[in-house]
Structure 1
Amino acid sequence: MPVIFMILCFILILIVVIFISKWKINIQIVYRPSYLMLTIQVNWLFIRMVNKSIRLDHMQEDGQKDTFHTFFSQLQELYKMLPRINALVTTALQHIVIRNWKWYTEGGIGDAALTGMTAGGVWGIKGVITSWIMRKSKEDCRPDLQVKPLFQQSHFEMFFSCMVSTRITQAIHTVVQLLRILGSEKRKEKECK
């Protein structure tokens, strides 16, 4: 009987530790022409639970090279989706602590004057996106943003890395809230039809 009691106590303590300890998630995105790599690592205590790298090779369909210009067009598409994803992102970020934030970009359009103006625009956009995310989450770091203009080249590369931490109970609560939001959006879409 005491052995069973000890085993049950151990299991209970393990469950409590799992639910109250922090989980750290590292996300890294590397983008180069015809190359996209996403790496996700999940650590609990000092144990790496997930270490997954996904490489997505892609080519521009129209043969166009990746430049700051294509980056801006992709950001415009993201901006159009912003009202729909605002509630989702706000819900997802409210229980997350950002421990590390690095976002490096380099590129050019081929014309030095246009590249300089575009680099300034990229700085502004990255600053707005970063401050918006930091405001919605619990910030515990100083963001590292860099833009390197390539004045005589038509090229684009990006490196993004962040580390966040959360408790599993908060993650479960966030997932439930996200499912509620998605369910209510689907009901609204059906009512509109």
Structure 2
Amino acid sequence: MDSLYIILILIAGIVFFIAFFLQSKWIIKIKYQFPEMRDAQISVYLYKWCVIRQKNLRISNQAEMEKGFIHFYKLLREKKLHVLKEIRLQALLKELQVLEFKWQTKGGTGNAFTTSITSGTMWAVKGWLVGYLSQHLQLCGKPQINVQPDFQSARLETAFSCMISFRLGKTILGIMRVLKIKEVRK
């Protein structure tokens, strides 16, 4: 009879641990600065406990990034990425909360005319990105974006910091919804 109680307690403990783990709140912090850092720093937290502290991810060099973009553009142009229309990422993205979003850029081309055009383009891209994020994610704070033109010199500096929070169980369910295979219509 005692062994039955021990087994029931172990099963209840395992169920409680799984329920706790699936309801756990995870936070991911991403930080990148150019040209000071060549790596992106990522920290992962479970509630307030740090699980992974500042893991440095190597950013690809320019040639590898251009090669990847060219390959992606080629597939897009050949209409081989039509599968992306079928995937509903909104179900997954709605589960993510953006706690902090900061992106500051400072730079110029050395010419006042082209610097002003470049700065305006950067504002447009950042504004579009913030609009997309606010439409598809839960923004908990006001995004902080800034573009500071430098009309005197040709340089580029950028600092990016983002903090994302999610519940593991809801994210797993969102991934399962995204990966759900539709029946083929006849």
State if a TM-score over 0.5 links the two structures: yes
For the Cα contact (< 8 Å) 2:89–2:178, is it kept in 1? no
Residues 118 and 29 of structure 1, relative CA distance in 2, 3 Å threshold: same
Point out the structure with the larger helix share: 1
**Structure 2 spans left out of the alignment, 5+ residues:** none
Which AA in structure 2 matches 1:14?
F
For the Cα contact (< 8 Å) 1:36–1:58, is it kept in 2? no
Task: Give distance in 2, aligned partners of 1:161 and 1:88.
Answer: 27
- Paired residue for 2:122? 122
- Paired residue for 2:27? 24
Larger-Rg structure? 2
- Paired residue for 2:47? 45
- Paired residue for 2:111? 111
Q: Deviations over 1:54-95 (max 9, x none)?
A: 13363579xxxxxxxxxxx99xx7xx7999767565344211
For the Cα contact (< 8 Å) 1:26–1:163, is it kept in 2? yes
For the Cα contact (< 8 Å) 2:122–2:147, is it kept in 1? yes
Task: Give distance in 1, aligned partners of 2:20 and 2:135.
Answer: 29
Trace 1:96-175 onto structure 2 (pairs within 5 A): 96-175=96-175
Shift of 1:98: 0.9
Shift of 1:36: 3.3
Which AA in structure 2 matches 1:28?
K
Instruction: Among all aligned residue pairs of Structure 1 and Structure 2, give the percentage whose two residues are the same amino acid.
Output: 25
Shift of 1:102: 0.4
State the secondary structure of the residue aligned to 1:125. Answer: helix
Residues 57 and 130 of structure 1, relative CA distance in 2, 3 Å threshold: same
Which AA in structure 2 matches 1:18?
F
For the Cα contact (< 8 Å) 2:133–2:139, is it kept in 1? no
**Structure 1 spans left out of the alignment, 5+ residues:** 62-72, 188-193
Shift of 1:151: 1.1
For the Cα contact (< 8 Å) 1:23–1:44, is it kept in 2? yes
Task: Give distance in 1, aligned partners of 2:82 and 2:145.
Answer: 25
Number of aligned residue pairs: give it: 168
- Which deviates the most, 49-58 or 103-112? 49-58
Trace 1:8-23 onto structure 2 (pairs within 5 A): 8-23=11-26
Q: Deviations over 1:99-157 (max 9, x none)?
A: 11101111111102221232122112101111111210111111010111111221122
Which AA in structure 2 matches 1:139?
L
Task: Give distance in 2, aligned partners of 1:145 and 1:85.
Answer: 29
- Paired residue for 1:5? 8
State the secondary structure of the residue aligned to 2:170. Answer: helix
**CA RMSD, Structure 1 to Structure 2 (Å):** 3.3
Residues 89 and 108 of structure 1, relative CA distance in 2, 3 Å threshold: farther
